[in-house]
Amino acid sequence: MSAYENAKTMSREDVMEKIAALTIQEAGLCAGPLADRLAASLAEAEEEKKETGIVAALNNADTDYVLLEVLKNDPEKVLQGIAIAAMAIGTENKTLCLPERETELADSLAQLASNYHVEVMTGLVNLRANKGRAIIHMVTAADLADAFAGEYVPGVYVSVNGEAVKKVPNGTRVGELADMTDAKALILGYSMCRPDAAGLAVEEAGITNGVVKVLTSHSCVVDETEKRLMASRKQSCGKCVFCREGLIQLQYMQKEITEGRGKGDFVDLTKEIGEAMCFSTPCTLGQNSSKIALTAMENFPAEYEAHIKKKKCPSAVCTKLVNIYIDPKHCNGCGACETVCPYDCIEGQPGYIHMLDDFDCTKCGKCTEVCETGAIVITTGRVPRVPYRLTKVGRFR
């Protein structure tokens, strides 16, 4: 018997009691017992004189979408979970809300969803329009279906370094999930954490979007933070000033820092704007997207000092802060780099030491990939003396 069929043999009160007895937790950013969340939606519906309902979605703040895999892997499970949650509060009003870009997925699920009378839509969840409805994470719906099928194991769904999503049982340490040998930072959920966060159990680590990512010595904390802020900026619906303008300011400052134009007061400004966003915005996007910048600056002050004061990127990732040159001792004049450079930055002739003019160079790395002698060097240090006119291989002194 399926989870939904099992639930259909029970009264509404029994379904609710079972959810409470199993202590199923809401998996999204608004953590807490699911039974409390469902009961609160009933109270809110009564107070607001609105119809109650169930809305299952990712967190609005989620820009990685890795937990969408839970739905893609077993859509029927999520739909059954939504239907069971709806039974618990006695509503026929059921919605599955997918990220804006997932129109194809929404179309492909429409037929199956109609079997459970679930409406499928795309876009951010509008909190005001959904007052009185229980907004639950689609992972919570999957957990609920597991529980009514007798297969529920308390745990957290994670994607480690972009790999396939898997559920790991509570109590598992973050450090057991990934190789931490060269780790300099850990992205856990919406925060940039120090490597010692590997000691946290998965259920304590705030992995509410499923993201576990190890940044090694080859990754830049500032560059990663800027990219994540840009993703949030693109996702914001822009209706709230603090979210819209705050994200523009935060992303702009990180970008300036990666390009060597960072200023000392950016750290304080980020704190001021980021903290204001957390408590002045109504939905999880505004409340959580500044956390990456706040935690990055708090946990990695040396990275920011290197970028802002010394104009250096310790990981040699920020292209405006690194130098590139061809080492005349190792160049054999093969010409492979000249052929692949998309911006004609490299000049030379067969048998001659090649020369790189970095004025138009984007540090794309295509030339280093084809250079078999390792002659092309990307460095955070100075460029040594190199030839400025055609010089035969082995003749440069």
Q: Which residues bind ligand SF4 (CB under 6 A)?
A: 60, 124, 236-240, 243-244, 281-283, 285-286, 324, 326, 331-337, 340-341, 343, 345-346, 348, 354, 356, 361-367, 370-371, 373, 375-376
Four-residue CA torsion sign, 228, 233, 239, 240: positive
Residue 329: CB minimum distance to ligand SF4, A: 11
**78 class by beta-carbon count within 10 Å (0-12 exposed, 13-18 middle, 19+ buried):** buried
Query: Among residues 106 and 370, whose Cβ is nearest to ligand SF4?
Result: 370
> Looking at beta carbons only, is 33 or 335 nearer to ligand SF4?
335
Number of Cβ within 10 Å of residue 73's Cβ equals 12
Between residues 75 and 387, which has the closer beta carbon with respect to ligand SF4?
387
Shortest gap between Cβ of 114 and ligand SF4 (angstroms)?
Answer: 29
User: Residue 177 or residue 285: which is nearer to ligand SF4 going by CB?
Assistant: 285
Q: Do the beta carbons of residue 380 and residue 312 sit within 8 Å?
A: yes
Q: Tokens standing for 342?
A: 């998309």
Q: How far is the CB of 16 from ligand SF4 (least distance, A)?
A: 30
Q: How far is the CB of 271 from ligand SF4 (least distance, A)?
A: 19
Shortest gap between Cβ of 252 and ligand SF4 (angstroms)? 17
Least Å distance, CB 366 to ligand SF4, is 4
- Residue 85 or 337: the one with the smaller Cβ distance to ligand SF4 is 337
Smallest separation (angstroms) from ligand SF4 to the CB of 29 = 12
Q: Which is nearer to ligand SF4, 154 or 282 (CB)?
A: 282
Please choose, from the candidates 285, 304, 283, the residue with its C-alpha nearest in 3D space to the C-alpha of residue 247: 285
Closest CB to ligand SF4 among residues 106, 340: 340
CB of 298 to ligand SF4, least distance (A): 22
Closest to ligand SF4 by CB, 177 vs 283, is 283
- Identify which of residues 197 and 292 has a Cβ nearer to ligand SF4 in the complex: 292
Give min distance, CB of 370 to ligand SF4, in A: 6
- The closest residue (CB) to ligand SF4 is 286
- How many angstroms separate the CA atoms of 271 and 280, rounded? 14
